[in-house]
């Protein structure tokens, strides 16, 4: 849903400027991403909007170096500067973890994605700093790293819930892993939030319809897409201008799962 909303924003802004959108889904697969980027270069597209696979994504760096205009969304690159539209992931995660601590939770589990992705690093840092700001111990055994996909969320939640002293709350760093974590809670017949509270990073159309409705960190995904396309159009018109970073603020939406 997050990237679909970004794509909708890109498409609307592109259409308004008489550009057509070609949509490719790499599905968090490095080889698929490289293949699609090669196709885009071969077809001489005017520009590309994409989330890099990770901070050192060589396929994206090669594409930028080839002269193709590129705007990164959600995730940044560490080895090269390019136009970027991202969230203030640190503060979004800080607010979520602080909310759980303020509700009285001292054992807050973290289900994160790949360590070498910029968004994950910032969300992890926000979680850690929030616990410290509330005087809580940061417990490595309560932190589990997955791959941003649903099955890893389910598996990692099961691992955390099987601990001798399991967490009383879970903070999950993307929407697919949140679905997996909710599945694990359901399988164990645990009540939310009576037994385990949960917050997901990113809102979903069905989050409010859950029982109970899910507390989330909402990201303005559509605005990310529109802003990214606007930067791409500027890059196409002026290839030599300095790279620009636009950072948007997410919002903690408190519902009944915490």
Segment 247-257, tens digit of pLDDT: 999 999 999 99
- Helical residues (DSSP H) of the chain, grouped into ranges: 2-16, 30-42, 58-65, 89-102, 118-133, 150-161, 175-187, 221-237
| Nearest residue to 48 (alpha-carbon basis) of 23, 82, 71, 81 | 71
Distance CA 202, CA 220 (A): 9
Distance CA 194, CA 196 (A): 6
pLDDT surpasses 90 at 46: yes
Secondary structure of residue 169 in the 3-state scheme: strand
| Strand 143-145 relative to strand 169-172, pairing | unpaired
pTM for this structure? Answer: 0.94
Residue 58 φ/ψ, nearest 5 degrees: -65, -35
Give residue 79's pLDDT.
Answer: 87
Give residue 142's pLDDT.
Answer: 98
Which residue is it, tokens 């890109």? Answer: 10
Distance CA 92, CA 96 (A): 6
Which residue is it, tokens 């994206």? Answer: 60
pLDDT surpasses 90 at 17: yes
């Amino acid at each position: 849903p997050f990237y679909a909303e970004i794509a909708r924003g890109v498409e609307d802004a592109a259409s308004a400027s008489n550009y057509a959108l070609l949509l490719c889904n790499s599905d968090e697969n490095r080889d698929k991403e490289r293949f699609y980027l090669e196709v885009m270069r071969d077809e001489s597209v005017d520009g590309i909007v994409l989330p890099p696979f990770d901070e050192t994504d060589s396929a994206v760096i090669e594409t930028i170096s080839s002269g193709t205009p590129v705007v990164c969304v959600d995730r940044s690159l560490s080895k090269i500067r390019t136009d970027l539209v991202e969230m203030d992931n640190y503060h979004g995660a800080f607010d979520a973890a602080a909310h759980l601590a303020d509700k009285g939770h001292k054992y807050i589990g973290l289900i994160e994605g790949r360590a070498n992705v910029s968004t994950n690093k910032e969300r992890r840092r926000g979680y850690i700093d929030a616990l410290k700001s509330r005087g809580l111990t940061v417990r490595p055994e309560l932190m589990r790293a997955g791959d941003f996909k649903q099955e890893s969320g389910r598996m990692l939640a099961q691992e955390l819930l099987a601990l001798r002293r399991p967490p009383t709350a879970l903070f999950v760093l993307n929407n697919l892993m949140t679905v997996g974590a909710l599945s694990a809670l359901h399988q164990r017949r645990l009540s939310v939030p009576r037994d385990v509270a949960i917050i997901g990073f990113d809102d979903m159309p069905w989050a409010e319809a859950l029982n109970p409705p899910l507390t989330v960190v909402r990201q303005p995904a559509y605005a990310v897409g529109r802003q990214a396309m606007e930067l791409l159009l500027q890059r196409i018109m002026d290839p030599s201008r300095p790279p620009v970073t636009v950072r948007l603020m997410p919002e903690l939406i408190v519902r009944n799962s915490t």
